[in-house]
Structure 1
Amino acid sequence: MALESKQTGSWLVCKTCGTQFPTDDKTKVTTCFICDDPRQYVPPSGQSFISLDVLRSDGQYKNVFTPIDADPEHLIAIATEPKVGIGQRAILVRTSKGNVLWDCITLLDDETIAKVKELGGLKAIVISHPHYYSTHLEWARAFRCPVYLAIEDMKWLAQHDADWQIFISETETQIHGTTVLKLGGHFPGSMVMLYDGKLLIADTFLTTPSGLGNWDADALGTARERPAGMSSFAFMWSYPNMIPLAPDALEAMWAVLKGYEFGSTHGAFPGMDIVKTPREMKKRVLESMQIQIRYSGHGEHAMLKESFV
C-alpha cells in the first residue's frame, strides 16, 4: 500500500464517533471518552470498536468526492459511504495558496490519497471541533501537512504528535487563503472557516430543515415569500442529546461572526448548504439566534435588540 502508517491500521477506532486510539489492545481501550461526554452518546448496543484495516478490507466502504454546487471548482465534499462514525463530510478547499481540508473523516485509503493528490494534495487540515478529530494524524502523515486544532479543546485528543498538530489560540487565523474563526459554543474552541464569501460551519451551528426549505412557490406554482419567524440554524451544546446553548454563548458567537461577510453556509453533512445574498445569510444567522433565545424564555436578553446595517 502507498500508506506510510501501515502499523497503525490495526489501532482501535470507535464505531460511534470514528475516533482512533493509539493501540490495538482491547483491554486498554474499553470505552471512548468522547462518546462518554454528554455532547455525544454510547448507543444502546454499547461501546464497540473497529480498525482502519477492517474498514479498508471490508469492500463496502469508500470515500465519495462531490463538488459543492455553490463553488464546484474550489469546494469538494468527501464523505464515506456507507456511513462511518458520525457520518460528517470533510470539505476540500482549493485555494490559490494550496488545498486545505476542512474537518476530517475516519476512512483513509490508497484511493483517497491518490484522488486528493490528483486534486493538488494538502497544505493543511483544520478541524472544527473534537467530534471530528477521527484519524487526523493518519491524514497528516499521509499528506505531510499540519493539522490545526483549537487550543481550548486539547483535552479531547486521543493522540498527541507535536510534529503535526498546531494549536490555534487566536480568534482569527489565516491558513493558506482561508480565514478560520473561533466562535466557541458547542465546544470552547469550536471553529468555522471562511473562504471567498462561503462559510463552512461544520456543526458549530447546525442547518435546520426550515433553513433548507423552499418557499419560492406554492403547490399551484404561485410565487410567495418565505414565512416570517423561520429558523435557519440551531445552536446546541449537545446535538444528539438536544441541549441548546445559553443566550450568552450565542451573543459571544455573534460578536465574532458579525464582523464578516458570507453569502452561503456549508454544514457538516451532505445537503446542508444554503446559498443566498450576503445580507440574507447574515440576517438568517442573527434571526435564528434571536428565535432560539426568545423561545427559551429569555425575552429581555440584549441579543434580541441586536441588528446590523
Structure 2
Amino acid sequence: MKNYICETCGVQYDCSIEAPDRCMICEEERQFVSVEGQTWTTLDAMVNEGVYKNVFDIEEEGVHAISIEPSFGIGQTAYLIQDQNFCLLWDCITYIDQETLKRVEELGGIDAIALSHPHYYSTQVEWAEAFNAPIYIHEDDRKWVTRPSERIIFWSGESLQLKQGLTLHRMGGHFKGGTILEWQNGNNHKGILFTGDIIRIVADRDWVSFMYSYPNFIPLPSSTVERVADRVKDFKFTRLYDAFHRVISEEAELKVQKSAHRYIGALNGTLFDT
C-alpha cells in the first residue's frame, strides 16, 4: 500500500495498492492533466531519487519561505511564520525529508498548519504527522481532501483566530473555501497578508489579480472580486506574500484595492476600448 502523489499538482492520495486512475484535482477545470498524461510518484521515490531538496529563505523577521528545488508540481512556496512561541506553516509543499525535519525543528517546529485551498494540500498529512500538528481547512473545501486524516480540522464561518494576531479568513473566489491569513504582528506590527493565490501578485509587483483558474485563464466575476476587495479593507496589513515567492513590500492594502478596481473595469468594459 502506498500514498501516491500526482506529479502534475503534487497532491498526495490515501493509501492504495495501485496508483489511482485519475487525479480529481487535475481533472477539474481549475487545474489540468499534463499533456504527457497522468503520472504518479511517491514521497519515498522522490527521496530515494536524490534529486529534490527544500530551500529555506529568510524573508524577514518571523517569516521563512520553503520551496522545492528543482520545482515540483505547481511550484508553490510554503511559509513558516513564527509568532511569540507559535509556529504556523502556511500552505504546504510536497517534498519532505530528514534534512527538512531537522531544519524546521531548529526553527521551532510546527504548531499548526493552515491551507489556502486544495491545490496546495500536497503532503499536508505527512507534515502534520511529522510535527504532531493540526491542519486547518475550511469546511467548504472538504470534498477536495484526497488523503483524509484525524489531524484535519474543518473550520466554518468567515474567520478563525488561530492565535491572537493570526487569523484565517474565508474569501471564496478561486475556491469556495479559499482562505487567506492575516498576521497583524508581522512587519513590525504593520501587518502582513498571506494569500496563496486567492489574491496573486502579478509580474508588475504593484498589482495583484483574482482568478477562478490561472492556468486556464478563467476569470472571476466582478461581483466576487468586489466582495473580496471589500473584505480585505477590514484587515490590518501593509505587506502581502503570495504562493509564488512574490511580495508587495509596502502599501499592499492600497494596491489590492486599485487592482480590484482595474480588474472590475476590465470585466465591465470600462477600462479600455479595443
Q: TM class by shorter-chain length? A: over 0.9
Structure 1 length normalisation: TM-score? 0.82
Structure-to-structure mapping, 1:42-121, within 5 angstroms: 42-68=33-59, 72-121=60-109
- Matches of 1:209 and 1:16, distance apart in 2: 23
Report the AA paired with residue 98 of structure 1.
Answer: F
8 A Cα contact 1:11 1:22, kept in partner: yes
**2:203 pairs with 209, 219, 225, which one?**
209
> Which segments of 5 or more consecutive residues in structure 1 lack a partner in the other structure?
1-7, 213-231, 301-309
In the TM superposition, residue 21 of structure 1 has moved relative to its aligned partner by 1.1
- 1:123-148 CA distances to partner (integer Å, 9 max, x unpaired)? 10001000001111111111001000
Map of 1:243 onto structure 2: 218
**Structure 1 residue 97: deviation in Å?**
4.0
SS in 2 for 1:11: strand
Q: Distance in 1 between matches of 2:3 and 2:152?
A: 19
Partner deviation per Cα, 1:110-168 (whole Å, 9 max, x = no partner):
11111111111111000100000111111111100100001000000112122x01112
* 1:73 to partner: Cα distance: 2.4
Which of 143, 146, 155 does residue 155 from structure 1 map onto?
Answer: 143
Corresponding residue of 1:305? none
Aligned runs of 1:28-43 on 2, under 5 Å? 29-43=20-34
Q: Which has the larger radius of gyration?
A: 1
What is aligned with 1:136? 124
How far apart in 1 are the matches of 2:124 and 2:75?
15
Verify the 8 A CA contact 2:54 2:66 in the aligned structure 1: yes
TM score, norm. by length of structure 2: 0.92
1:22 pairs, out of 14, 17, 21, with 14
How far is the alpha carbon of 1:181 from its aligned partner?
1.2
Runs of 5+ unmatched residues, structure 2: 186-190
Aligned letter for 2:194?
Answer: L
Matches of 2:227 and 2:269 in 1, distance apart? 16
Distance, in Å, in 2 between the alignment partners of 1:63 and 1:38 is 29
Aligned-partner residue type, residue 84 of structure 1: F
Aligned position for 1:265: 240
SS at match of 2:153: strand
Match of residue 145 from structure 1: 133
Amino acid at match of 1:138: E
Q: CA deviation at 1:171?
A: 1.4
SS at match of 1:152: helix
| One-letter amino acid of the counterpart of residue 172, structure 1 | S
Q: Does residue 161 of structure 2 align to residue 174 of structure 1?
A: yes
1:194 is displaced (CA, Å) by 1.4
What letter matches 1:175 in structure 2?
L
Identity %: 37
Whichever structure has more strand as a proportion of its residues is: 2
Which SS does the other structure have where 1:203 is aligned? coil
2:5–2:40: 8 Å Cα contact kept in structure 1? yes
SS in 2 for 1:80: strand
